[in-house]
């Protein structure tokens, strides 16, 4: 039977209804246009976002508080960040949430071990139902903590002995594992934890790891590595397998590299003699580096 000019009106109405329903469903489940290409970062004590082409820079927070370490929820509608208030050296740190346009800013209340007394970073889980952080346990022991946003209570995944606490946190794509980098005082270390049952799975060696970003949908870790033997440019971006095997070096004078949602690019903070010089983007192989934002106070990129 031909479905040309003489096709049944009932068939046409059914097809049109299906098309309208499909389009409406896409509006419900798809992120807002451009949301996936925005990068959140800290600058001058505030949280900003910018598109991946460098356009549309927008400041989300302002005021006397010092805001840093943004993390996007998987749905891209919520940003978590750390807010520091009070005098330096005696400041108070808390986890805050806001919408992606900076509205509805509010603190997160919870019970159990802290997310902030032992960590300068927080990270949403892939499900968006948990936030990872760290707590100080005393005597140079630090705990990796996870907050359940439904119950508003935390649990301890594991403990690490170090001098400066947790620097970065990154979840495996399935949410089953969590990798943390920690500050040793002159160097960094990296550990992998079971995010479901708790417990340490691996301590990485061979390098001084500063930060890590898990490859979306993959089995690799994009890391900032400190190379003290390389004068003038000791900060390198290197790619590792999940088991710690080094695959290749992608760039130098780069800090805090983080993958894009599709894993095809990464954002990083440019470093000139160890000091931040702006926010940059490169292809996943380290090529085609582009500057997005200039400034000596740029840090903490989070791409979602």
- pLDDT of res. 53: 95
Using pLDDT thresholds of 50, 70 and 90, give the confidence band for residue 89: low
- Helices (H) then strands (E): counts for the chain: 1, 24
Structure tokens at 84: 């520091």
Question: Taking the mean position of all CA atoms in its chain, how far away is CA 114?
Answer: 19
The pLDDT value recorded for residue 229 is: 73
Q: Which of 46, 89, 81, 35 is nearest to 260 (CA)?
A: 35
Q: Which has more pLDDT, 297 or 20?
A: 297
For residues 106 and 170, give the distance between their C-alpha atoms in angstroms, rounded to a whole number: 24
- Provide the CATH topology of domain 37-303: Neuraminidase (2.120.10)
Predicted confidence band of residue 8 (pLDDT cuts 50, 70, 90): very low
Question: What does the alpha-carbon distance between residue 200 and residue 175 come to, in Å, rounded to a whole number?
Answer: 15
What is the model's pTM? 0.86
Instruction: Please give the pLDDT value at position 20.
Output: 35
Q: What CA–CA distance (Å, rounded) separates 274 from 204?
A: 24
Long-range own/partner contacts, residues 79-86 (CB < 8 A, 24 or more apart): 79/40, 79/47, 79/302, 80/108, 80/122, 80/124, 80/131, 81/47, 81/122, 82/116, 82/120, 82/121, 82/122, 83/107
The two structure tokens encoding residue 178: 């969590």
User: Does pLDDT of 230 surpass 90?
Assistant: no
> pLDDT tens digits, residue range 32-79?
333 448 999 999 999 999 999 999 999 999 999 999 999 999 986 899
Segment 189-194 mean pLDDT:
98
Which pLDDT tens digit goes with each residue over 9-28? 443 444 434 443 333 333 33
pLDDT of residue 227: 86
pLDDT at 172 over 90: yes
User: Percent of the chain beyond pLDDT 70?
Assistant: 86
Q: Where are the domains of the chain?
A: 37-303
Find out whether 118 and 159 touch, Cβ atoms under 8 Å: no
Euclidean distance between CA atoms 212 and 200, whole angstroms: 17
Distance in angstroms (rounded) separating the CA atoms of residues 258 and 73: 15
Give mean pLDDT, residues 90-114.
95
User: Which residues are registered as beta bridge partners of 64?
Assistant: none
């Amino acid at each position: 039977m031909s479905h040309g000019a003489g096709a049944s009106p009932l068939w046409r109405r059914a097809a049109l209804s299906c098309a309208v329903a499909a389009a409406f469903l896409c509006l419900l489940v798809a992120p807002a246009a451009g949301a996936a290409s925005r990068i959140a970062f800290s600058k001058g004590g505030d949280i900003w976002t910018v598109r991946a082409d460098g356009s549309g820079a927008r400041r989300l927070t302002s005021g006397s508080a010092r805001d840093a370490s943004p993390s996007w929820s998987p749905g891209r509608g919520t940003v978590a960040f750390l807010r520091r208030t009070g005098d330096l050296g005696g400041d108070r740190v808390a986890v805050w949430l806001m919408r992606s346009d900076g509205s509805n800013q509010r603190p997160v209340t919870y019970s159990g071990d802290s997310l902030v007394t032992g960590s300068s970073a927080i990270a949403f889980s892939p499900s968006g139902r948990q936030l990872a952080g760290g707590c100080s346990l005393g005597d140079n022991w630090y705990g990796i903590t996870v907050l359940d946003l439904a119950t508003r209570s935390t649990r301890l995944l594991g403990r690490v002995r170090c001098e400066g606490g947790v620097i970065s946190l990154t979840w495996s794509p399935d949410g089953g594992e969590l990798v943390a980098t920690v500050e040793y005082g002159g160097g960094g270390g990296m550990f992998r934890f079971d995010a479901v049952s708790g417990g340490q799975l691996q301590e990485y060696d061979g390098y001084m790891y500063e930060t890590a970003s898990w490859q979306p949908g993959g089995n690799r870790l994009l890391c900032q590595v400190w190379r003290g033997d390389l004068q003038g440019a000791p900060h390198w971006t290197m790619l590792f397998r999940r088991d710690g095997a080094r695959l290749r070096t992608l760039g130098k004078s780069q800090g805090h590299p983080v993958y894009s949602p599709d894993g095809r690019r990464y954002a990083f903070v440019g470093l000139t003699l160890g000091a931040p010089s702006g926010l940059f983007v490169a292809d996943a192989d380290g090529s085609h580096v582009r500057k997005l934002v200039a400034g000596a106070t740029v840090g903490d990129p989070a791409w979602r």
